[in-house]
Chains A and B, each alone.
Chain A
Amino acid sequence: MSEVIGNNFKEIKKKLDKVGCGFCLAKWTQVTMHLNDGTTHSCHHPAPHKIGLREIQKDPTSLHNSITKKKERKEMLEGGRPDACSYCWNIEDNSDSFSDRVYKSEEEWSKPYFDEIKNLKWRDNFTPKYVEVAFSNTCNFKCAYCGPSYSSKWVEEMKEHGEFSTGDGFNSLEELKRQDMVPIPQREENPYVEAFWKWWPELYQELDTFRITGGEPLLAKDTFKVLDYIIEQEEPNRNLKLSINSNLCIEDKLFDKFLEKARKIIDEGRVKEFIVYTSVDTYGKQAEYVRTGLDFEKLFKNIDTLLTELPKLTVVIMSTFNLFSPFGYEKLVKKVYDFKLKHFNTERYWNSPLILDTSYLRYPSFLSFRILKGYLNVEYFERIEKYMKFFSTYRSLNSYKMENTTDTGFSLKEIEKITRIKDIFLKDIENNEDFSKSKEKFLNYTKDYQKRRNLDCVEYFPELKKFINNDY
């Protein structure tokens, strides 16, 4: 971290702490709204909580300004630290690092509102600047690590086959019922979506960032309604950073419809930037095993089309590195590099046409790469890191503008994500972590997976044969 940037964080932390040691602007400025099950959270770290129907009937902005959240804000303004925000307190209490409370408060969608928020009363509403919304859980995929809250295909499977034999209630519909978080099917009336549309005209004009997640957003009619709204505005919010998640494996007709709307929005300069987020966790058939519904070739064909047809667009691959990822990841990284070269131009919203953003799977833990400790060689990670470093570019993706194709490559940020995974793997070896229970669950899970989906793990992953047979 540069000294200047480090000083900025120190400064904002000092300001925040002056109001209260738990004061965080993101509680006001940022929100993720799961309209599919009527829950909300600010920021994304605390668990989502249910929004009362009465609340949104009275005031649609309760999708963000819920009573639960207002109570947390009160605590923050009065010098407390809400329990729900323990993710940050853990970091602040146990390390010298800045927590997300600081990072998020320093963001350009937070920092300018410091004084305004500081002077608000806890009951006051605030219009968020960074909004993520899931309209529906309708999805044509059922990824191995996903679940009914985010995928209608998962709902169908759980209804048909019942619970997994992992013994931990993984993806249990009963558990969702108990928590009153059963997703509302798209075909049914959804009061939360209705509330959103009531609020939208006011919200839209004040937004810095709007990101649509899902389910598969391109299967939600409301996604296209948002795009149409932006297209139809006489005075669009040209400062808006618009992002849409998509698995990019929807019907061609729907993809073409999205492409044309995106083209119009971009060509007419109706947004400040337009980013498409997609996902893939490893290469080819192995990736298709993990993300049931994925057509690997189609995904990259559609990425290619987007980057060719929309020369300003950037596509980000959100890769959830999991137990199945290591064996094909190097090949995936090579493919991403080829796309970086092929689609480089100086017009993109972000420097690189295609970015590989690698996070790692935490839940369910039985699909975590960490359980491969003792089986997998750390060189798998080192090779990925080495390739990316060899084909790297400027240290920081967004700090410098690249000028020609020879500048293209992996950013430090993209590389660091792999280094982080390697470090976790090494630390597990050092600390002698025991993953035997998780492995047992994994074995039960893959057996069920095969029965339900007719997908034989060893057939797709011969590299895991000895792991599964305990022969190592």
Chain B
Amino acid sequence: MIINYKQPYWVKYEWDLSDHKDDQYVTNFNKIESEKIKNLFHQDRYSMTIDFKLDLNLESDNIFCIFGKPGKNFGLTYNKQADTLALEVWTKGVTKVAGDQFNYLAFQGVGYNELKNGSVITVVRDYEEFIIYNDFEKCGSIEFDKNLIDDYRDEGLLLGTGNPGTLVPEHRYNGSYEINSLFFVEDIIDIDISKKIYNTPTEKLIELDEYKNIIFNYDFNTINNQGIIYDNSSNNFFVEKIPTEFIQ
């Protein structure tokens, strides 16, 4: 699925699949903002894997988020001018006096030549360390002292943007790219398990020992008649387009 420029998606809600009393469509489901999703990245141990492909013929800002969160830079970004893919994240200052700390971890050797053919990127958090993988091969790590800043707890996970609602165009990080799959596994940091989940057909996920650790799992070709993307995990964190009122 192509995420178009300024038409980003978000993972934000937990959906209730019971019947909707006021509508003849069963698909018009109720949903509530999920605290689990908001606080996803503040957990101690997890891994998130995304399969995507870049095409610079598609419209994008100079720097744009493959995934991100509003506030100070957070997420997986691609810088067109520098041809660099990087993980960016702010963590809390070590002391009250020191300011928040910016962490930048570039995927060395992973440029457009590779990304245009499609890549599988995994970001692992192991307590105070982020480890990054390209196609399940380690390509970098960074250590930090304190947890991520609390600003990130205010919003879900955004796809194809960073700050869609900001009035400052350079801070929006809007982009366009092709996304195939995305999944998040909590309490598991073994890259071989990420690889196993990636290679498991969605209907067979239930047979994995790690099934319950999968918080969401999307195949972006599985979309319903309301344009919502299905969650193949045991949860109902479906993905939807961010409504236009939240986009500048």
Q: Which of A's residues lie within 8 Å of B, judged by CB?
A: 328, 330-331, 334, 377, 379-380, 382-383, 386-387, 389-395, 400, 406-409, 412, 415, 463
Contacts and interface: CB of A to CB of B under 8 A. Distances in A.
Interface stretch (B19-27, B112-120, B145-153, B169-177): B19-27
Contacts of B236: 386
B207 interface: yes
A331 B203 CA distance: 6
Nearest to B212: A379
A406 B17 contact: no
Given A379-B234, A409-B224, A409-B225, A390 B207 contact: no
Contacts of A415: 26
Contact of A389 (B26, B211, B225, B234): B26
Nearest to A328: B203
A408 B203 contact: no
B17 A386 contact: yes
Contacts of B27: 390, 392-393, 409
Contacts of A390: 17, 27, 224, 228, 230, 238
B108 to A, nearest CB: 40
Interface residues of B, number: 18
Contacts of B26: 389, 392-395, 412, 415
A394 B25 CA distance: 5
Given A379-B234, A380-B206, A406 B25 contact: no
Nearest to B226: A406
A328 B203 CA distance: 8
Contacts of B206: 377, 379-380, 383
Given A377-B206, A409-B224, A389 B17 contact: yes
Nearest to A408: B225
Given A387-B230, A390-B17, A412-B26, 11 more contacts: A331-B201, A379-B206, A380-B206, A383-B203, A386-B236, A389-B17, A394-B24, A395-B19, A408-B225, A409-B27, A409-B224
B139 to A, nearest CB: 35
A410 B136 CA distance: 38
A383 B17 CA distance: 12
A386 B26 CA distance: 12
A407 B236 CA distance: 22
- Most B CB contacts (10 A, CB to CB) among A377, A392, A408 go to A392
A395 B24 contact: yes
Contacts of A379: 206, 211, 234
Interface string B222-243: 0011001010001010100000
Contacts of A334: 203
Contacts of B234: 379, 382-383
